[in-house]
Amino acid sequence: MLEVRALNCERNDRLLFRDLSFTLEAGQALQVKGGNGSGKTTLLRIICGLNDSYSGELFWHGAPLGERRDAFYAGLLYIGHRVAVNRVLTPLENLRWSSRLRNPADDGPINEALVHIGLAGHEDSPCHSLSAGQYQRVSLARLFLRGAGLWVLDEPFTTLDTHGVTLLENLVTRHTESGGAVLITTHHKLSLPGLRALTLGVAR
Amino acid sequence: MSGTNIGTAFLATLKRDLLISLKRRNDILNPFMFFIIVVSLFPIGVSPESAMLRQIAAGVIWIAVLLASMLSMDSLYRSDYEDGTLEQLLLSSVPLYLLVFAKNIAHWLVSGLPVILVSPLLAYMLALPSEGYMTLVASLLLGTPVVGMLGSIAVALTVGLGSRGLILAVITVPMSVPVLIFGTLAVQNALAGGSPLGYLALLGAMLALTISLAPLATAAALRISMN
Amino acid sequence: MAGRWQWFHRLGSPKWFYEKTTRWLPWLWGAMALFLTVGLVWALLFLPEDYQQGHTSRILVVHVAVAGTSLSFFPLMAVAGTVTLVWRMKLADMVAKNAAPLGAWFSFLTLATGSIWGSVSWGTWWEWTDSRLVSMLFQFFLLLGVISLRAAIENAETAARACALLSIVGCINVVVIKYSVDWWNTLHQPSSPISMEVGSPNGPEFWVATVVMIVAVYLFLAVSLILATRNEILQRESRAQWVRELALEAR
């Protein structure tokens, strides 16, 4: 599905990683590990095309990623450090927009997703009134809504309670079992079957 | 990506921004009040004589519009940058410049349009002869989107910076000079009994040029700033 | 890579640029000194006194040369910006970075020499009805905008690309400003009694002196830009082997 070949990245004259290669196939989950400043977020942003200060090659289903950006974006769901949830809008309004950015969408599935993620009853309260964990859950509700093949999740666990962690782990498992792929950064110890790990920053 | 999907994404972004503006009325109301206050300073600072005021009326209103738009512009991408929405815009398979254009339209509807609607009233207070009203409104209708979209480029370039308010003005105000020139010339020409159509046509040409180029430049600027 | 485009890629190498300019610089210095001396001596000593303006017309030789040169900064920065954005050539940005303050200085000098000349010929230091002064003023402002944007962005690569984009937008804008200011002016002052036209009353000797001066100022621009760029190269490439060797040699 996704292949990274000989990736080098420098930031502010400091080498983050050199000659990094890995592949991510359908049905796999890959956890990117490493200490603070080891380049986990940078790696994810490079793969998503948000950062282009690198050398090396990226492939999407066998073809250079740069040549099929549209197909890649259509099959990508990225939830970054900053989760793209506007604070003055309600969860429902936020999800309406992020769904329609991709496809025409009805409120039905969005409401369902909010129930699944544990935000029932909060659909219409502005997001700034939610707790940090609930705020993060708004963004995670997107995982129910899009048939994206590749999930790229940057530290999705930071503010979640134990229940939320289990919920997300189950979601990831279900996604990989149904042929999706997941790229995830976290310091948590994940209990996922078949999880692979990539550790950055050990070479130095 | 099919046409309907692009249309959906465009409208969704437009609606979202309008909704946010509606919920954050202060971001819109303060520049609007600023506009009215700046205009009302001129009779006090320059001269209360209507003979003097009518000469400078069009220029005063146009300059106040420029200054007020600098204030309102600041919020254009700030919260989207801070909460990560910009990243999602960049990762959409809809062309970024279309989404940027949708945001520009939403911003103009809440910041440009109110100013234009109130401008005849202010023109009256500045003793602008009534022959000038229509031309003033027309020049603002054509000119304010140009200023907004030029500003949008500058906001996109400075979106990640801590203190950017002044840089924004330093970059954008000189760029808006041609709009100011033709906007005020159109009104003056109408007052002198001539036809303002030539100048309005020039403003229209600038608007067409800006619509076709500025969203592309803003999109490029956002990609640079997000890197 | 061999063949037609090789020069282009070599040009992108700071080391190549540094070595080449080490050889070019003495020649450029020499040519600049020659043209500057000839131009200045001619303008100050041999140029016949203008029948209307007297000795003040001599300032024009410098003013016209500086003004002409300062018009080339935005196109230069726009081209360098395009190269930065499309080919990611670091050298192009090093040139662009130093071109902006230099351009601001040249614009300022144009305004200053214009004012000095105007103070004698027009009787005023500043004249809004001269469209060239006004559009030069706004070019000056736009260049200050590019400089302050560069200063505001901490990450060097982001700053390079942001300034590149702004230079391209600014270049288009300068042209629009120039024409709109011209238009504005002819309308405000249909028959301008004061004009900087340096046409008929001045014979060919005036033009030759001006051309010599223009060449001299362009050479000065080239030398300053090359020197500044070399400085920039040494700073940015300070970790490179060849720069270290260079530093050891100098010691």
- Helical residues (DSSP H) of chain C, grouped into ranges: 6-11, 14-41, 57-70, 73-87, 90-121, 131-152, 156-188, 204-236, 241-250
β-strands A195-199, A181-185 pairing: unpaired
Residue C213 falls inside a structural domain: yes
pLDDT surpasses 60 at C2: no
pLDDT surpasses 70 at A123: yes
The 10s digit of each residue's pLDDT in C121-168 is 788 888 887 888 899 999 999 999 999 999 999 888 899 999 999 999
User: What φ, ψ does residue A70 adopt, rounded to 5°?
Assistant: -60, -45
Residue C231 falls inside a structural domain: yes
Confidence of residue C198 (pLDDT cuts 50, 70, 90): very low
Task: Measure the CA–CA gap between B214 and B220, rounded to whole angstroms.
Answer: 10
Confidence of residue C192 (pLDDT cuts 50, 70, 90): very low
pLDDT surpasses 70 at C202: no
pLDDT surpasses 70 at C5: no
Q: Which residue has the tokens 């003793």?
A: B127
Residue C18 falls inside a structural domain: no
Confidence of residue B3 (pLDDT cuts 50, 70, 90): low
CB within 8 Å: A13 and C239: yes
Task: Measure the CA–CA gap between B9 and B4, rounded to whole angstroms.
Answer: 9
CB atoms within 10 A of CB C48: 10
ipTM of the complex: 0.90
* Average of per-residue pLDDT across A91-117: 89
| Helix %, strand %, coil % of chain B (to 5) | 85, 0, 15
Better-scored residue on pLDDT, A79 or C202: A79
What is the SS3 assignment for C154?
A: coil
Nearest CA in chain A to B90: A50
The total of structural domains in chain A comes to 2
CA A84 from chain centre, in angstroms, equals: 12
Domain CATH number, residue A13: 3.40.50.300
With CA atoms as reference, report the closest residue to A114 among A86, A142, A81.
A142
Q: What is the mean pLDDT of chain A?
A: 88
Residue C48 falls inside a structural domain: no
Nearest CA in chain B to A106: B8
Cβ pair B227, A52 in contact under 8 A? yes
CB atoms within 10 A of CB C6: 10
Task: Measure the CA–CA gap between A46 and B227, rounded to whole angstroms.
Answer: 9
Do A164 and A193 lie in one domain? The reply is yes
DSSP string, C82-150: HHHHHH--HHHHHHHHHHHHHHHHHHHHHHHHHHHHHHHHTS-S--TT-HHHHHHHHHHHHHHHHHHHH
* DSSP 8-state secondary structure symbol assigned to residue A127: G
Better-scored residue on pLDDT, A45 or A102: A45
Residue B202's pLDDT is: 94
Do A67 and A2 lie in one domain? The reply is yes
Confidence of residue B165 (pLDDT cuts 50, 70, 90): low
CB atoms within 10 A of CB A123: 16
Q: Chains meeting A at 3+ CB pairs closer than 8 A? A: B, C
Better-scored residue on pLDDT, A114 or A195: A114
Task: Measure the CA–CA gap between A24 and A47, rounded to whole angstroms.
Answer: 12
Q: What is the mean pLDDT of chain B?
A: 92
Do A2 and A70 lie in one domain? The reply is yes
Residue C196's pLDDT is: 47
C156 forms beta bridges with none
Which residue in A69, A83, A100 is closest to B9 by CB distance? Answer: A100
Range among A97-101, B161-165, C6-10, C167-171 with highest mean pLDDT value: C167-171
Residue A192's pLDDT is: 81
Q: What is the mean pLDDT of chain C?
A: 85
Residue C103's pLDDT is: 96
With CA atoms as reference, report the closest residue to B201 among B184, B182, B187, B175.
B182
Token digits for A151? 């999930």
pLDDT surpasses 90 at C100: yes
Task: Measure the CA–CA gap between A148 and A168, rounded to whole angstroms.
Answer: 16
Nearest CA in chain C to B177: C177
> Which chain A positions have a beta carbon within 8 Å of C239's beta carbon?
13
Residue A102 falls inside a structural domain: yes
Confidence of residue C191 (pLDDT cuts 50, 70, 90): very low
Residue C160 falls inside a structural domain: yes
User: What φ, ψ does residue A31 adopt, rounded to 5°?
Assistant: -100, 125
Q: Does B194 touch chain C (CB under 8 A)?
A: no
Cβ pair A11, A39 in contact under 8 A? yes
Token digits for A38? 């080891």
* Average of per-residue pLDDT across A150-175: 90
Q: Does A12 touch chain C (CB under 8 A)?
A: yes
Residue C132's pLDDT is: 85
Radius of gyration of chain C (CA): 21
Cβ pair A157, A149 in contact under 8 A? no
Residue-range definition of the domain harbouring residue A137:
85-146
* Average of per-residue pLDDT across C183-193: 60
What is the helix (H) or strand (E) element at residue A29, kind and residue range? strand A29-33
DSSP string, B101-149: HHHHHHHIIIIIHHHHHHHHHHHHHTT--THHHHHHHHHHHHHHHHHHH
Shortest CA gap A46–chain C (Å) = 15
Angle at which helices B131-158 and B197-226 cross, to 10°: 10
Residue A11 falls inside a structural domain: yes
With CA atoms as reference, report the closest residue to B73 among B173, B140, B1.
B173
Residue A28 falls inside a structural domain: yes
Cβ pair A10, A162 in contact under 8 A? no
Residue C62's pLDDT is: 87
Task: Measure the CA–CA gap between B103 and A2, rounded to whole angstroms.
Answer: 33
A15 forms beta bridges with A10
Residue B111's pLDDT is: 93
Do A71 and A152 lie in one domain? The reply is yes
| Cα dihedral A126→A131→A134→A139 (10° resolution) | 60
Which residue in C149, C165, C187 is closest to B167 by CB distance? Answer: C149
Whether this model's pTM surpasses 0.95:
no
Residue C53's pLDDT is: 66
Buried b (16+ CB within 10 A) or exposed e, B61-72: bbbbbbebbbbb
Residue C118's pLDDT is: 85
Q: Does C87 touch chain A (CB under 8 A)?
A: no
Task: Measure the CA–CA gap between A33 and C154, rounded to whole angstroms.
Answer: 28
Better-scored residue on pLDDT, C185 or A140: A140
Nearest CA in chain A to C88: A53
Residue C50 falls inside a structural domain: no
pLDDT surpasses 70 at A204: no
Do A110 and A200 lie in one domain? The reply is no
pLDDT surpasses 50 at B203: yes
With CA atoms as reference, report the closest residue to C196 among C96, C18, C59.
C59
The 10s digit of each residue's pLDDT in B34-71 is 999 999 999 999 999 999 999 999 999 999 999 999 88
Test the B interface: residue of C86, C88, C133, C149 with most B CBs within 10 Å? C149
Buried b (16+ CB within 10 A) or exposed e, A125-144: ebbeebeeebbbbbbbbbbb
Residue A80 falls inside a structural domain: no
Residue-range definition of the domain harbouring residue C213:
34-43+57-186+197-245
Task: Measure the CA–CA gap between C164 and C233, rounded to whole angstroms.
Answer: 18
Q: Which of these three, A131, A146, A161, is where a domain ends?
A: A146
Range among A133-147, B136-150, B153-167 with highest mean pLDDT value: B136-150
pLDDT surpasses 60 at A147: yes
Q: Which residues of A touch B (CB under 8 A)?
A: 48-53, 69-70, 73-74, 76, 78, 80-89, 93, 96-98, 100-104, 126
Task: Measure the CA–CA gap between C130 and C115, rounded to whole angstroms.
Answer: 11
Nearest CA in chain C to B226: C158
Better-scored residue on pLDDT, C218 or C57: C218
Shortest CA gap C17–chain A (Å) = 22
Token digits for C145? 């905008």
Token digits for B94? 């809809």
Burial class (CB in 10 A: 0-12, 13-18, 19+), A67: exposed
Cβ pair B188, B62 in contact under 8 A? no
Q: Chains meeting C at 3+ CB pairs closer than 8 A? A: A, B
Residue C250 falls inside a structural domain: no
pLDDT surpasses 90 at C174: yes
The 10s digit of each residue's pLDDT in B67-84 is 999 888 888 898 899 999
- Terminal-residue alpha carbon distance, chain B: 25
DSSP string, A42-105: HHHHHHHTS---EEEEEEETTEEGGGGHHHHHHTEEEE-SS----SSS-HHHHHHHHHHTTS--
pLDDT surpasses 80 at A17: yes
